[in-house]
Amino acid sequence: MAKKTIDHAFTAGSLTSAATDPTFAGALSFMRRRFTKDLSGVDTVVWGIPFDAATSNRPGARFGPQAIRRASAIFDNDPQYPFDRDLFAEMAVIDYGDCLMDYGNHQETPAAIEAQAKTILDAADFLLTLGGDHFVTWPLLKAHAAKHGPLALVQFDAHQDTWFDDNRRIDHGSFVARAVRDGIIDPARSIQVGIRTHAPDDFGIKLVYGHEVEEMTAGEIAKVITDHVGGGPAYLTFDIDCLDPAFAPGTGTPVAGGPSSAKILSVLRKLGSLDIRGADVVEVAPAYDHADITAIAGATVAMYMLGLRAEQKSGR
């Protein structure tokens, strides 16, 4: 017991130190990373955006960051499967807490998210964001594009999110159309996986529909993604409703006919060749969840994103 500590999120001796908190106790940062606003020496930042005022159906994703952090406690200090490594041994990761927003002035929210994301990206190489509804990806893409230039969008989702807007709407169903129009993403290299709805325009983005995902192997899906995106910079956004409601009931706009968490995690595992510059997990709404099924899925997707990052940093 002498070497063990509690509340590793506050008591960590270094950014790469291992946690010893019991799964059922301790401060619930994401995967027990240090809670801090100090970006000194940081490579990767985990950040929450508790915003859901853009939802078109069931609200509640503002509680997503809390739920994902809580579910991530299941990833104790063992080597993380399937990466077979301590993800943080060579990668300095912090939990930066949550975005500061005024809940009564939603028109100010996009600029607030973008400005705070830029502050993080000025110091860190990689930002993993926990949403929040899918609108938050719009200001995140703006911040990432300001640093990296236009990005390929790799989107796991049941919806295309390409509905028209007037560049002022706060709407989680139109951010992709806006990003294409503003030149923030490159539609020719972008891809949407798991789509189970129709929108008026695809803007030239490659679609892999839900029934195609069902008929393909994980390896085939991953190859379609990597071949299409190529070697340029990419941003990975994961709407939890990409998964079938059997595996992710806690979300605002569930659509039947989606893939299992096992299949999509297998796809993510095979995306290590992509040049992913940033990522997010959105639309976890715990009020509609059961036994943390959706939160666990969201936390696992986020852990896989960090796992891919850790492998790239170590060269394998």
Side chain identity, residue 227? D
Q: Is 6 helix (H, G, I), strand (E, B) or coil?
A: coil
Integer Cα distance of 282 and 294 in angstroms: 11
21 known ligand binder: no
For 205-272, the DSSP string reads: -EEEEHHHHHHS-HHHHHHHHHHHHTTSEEEEEEEGGGS-TTT--SSSS--SS---HHHHHHHHHT-T
211 known ligand binder: no
Residue with tokens 């503003």: 182
- What's the token pair of residue 266? 């297998």
Q: Is 186 helix (H, G, I), strand (E, B) or coil?
A: coil
Residue 232, judged by CB atoms within 10 A of its CB (0-12, 13-18, 19+), counts as middle
275 known ligand binder: no
**In 3D, which of 244, 233, 176, 165 has the Cα closest to residue 204?**
176
133 known ligand binder: no
Count of residues making up the chain: 316
Residue with tokens 């929210």: 109
Q: Report the 10 Å Cβ neighbour count for 144.
A: 27
102 known ligand binder: no
Residues flagged as binding site for Mn(2+): 134, 157, 159, 161, 239, 241
Annotated binding site: 134, 157, 159, 161, 239, 241
